[in-house]
Amino acid sequence: MIKENENQVLIISGESGAGKTESTKLVMQYLAAVNKSGNNLITEQILEANPLLESFGNAKTIRNDNSSRFGKYIELFFKNGAIVGAKTAEYLLEKSRIVTQAPEERNYHVFYEMLEELSDEQKAKYGLQTAPKYFYLNQGGSALIRGRDDADNYRKLTAAMDILNFERQEQETIVKILASVLHIGNMYFKVIQVRRILCY
């Protein structure tokens, strides 16, 4: 790229559980390490996008505890060997996972992370309970993944939002939306026959 002044493309592919997500993180860390820019904030922001993408786009499947349920296309912009910006586009997000999961699978990590980390006071503010209480989170069975610290991952997520300049109000709005999704999943509708009584 530097010698020929030509754009370069790196395609990471493979079946579920092959290590695409981890490989992408390693490549990004390498590029950040050899980056000639004196501005560490830009490279830090690029790296901190990963916790955000994983929380909102990864889930436990039968084959993989941290499976990306979407594709992503990451563009890094260089000038004279220095990273000056980045752009990430997602595609084919598995939206159906929000409302239904197979046995032994989970919804997107962010729901479990939020419920594990929020204090009782914060949960009360949004009317939240524990993960097994929600239809959108309990269909797959156990909400826990051995060796995964959902509370710590939520702390990393909020730290990433801070580094990426999400305002507090924006972060609160995200929590409200996530809570709303969980509440909607617990709504049930029943058909009631209404008898009309005529008075003469």
Indicate the annotated binding residues. 14-21
Surface-to-core class of residue 6, CB atoms within 10 Å of its CB (0-12 exposed, 13-18 middle, 19+ buried): exposed
Range 151-158 contact pairs with CB under 8 angstroms and sequence separation of 24 or more: 151/113, 151/116, 151/117, 153/51, 153/54, 153/55, 153/109, 153/113, 154/55, 154/110, 154/113, 154/114, 154/116, 154/117, 154/118, 155/117, 156/51, 157/51, 157/52, 157/55, 157/110, 157/113
SS3 59: strand
Which structure tokens are listed for 171? 């972060």
Which structure tokens are listed for 166? 């999400």
Contacts of 153 (CB under 8 A, 6+ apart): 51, 54, 55, 109, 113
171 within 8 A of 158, measured Cβ to Cβ: yes
Q: List the binding residues for ATP.
A: 14-21
Chain centre to alpha carbon of residue 25: 15
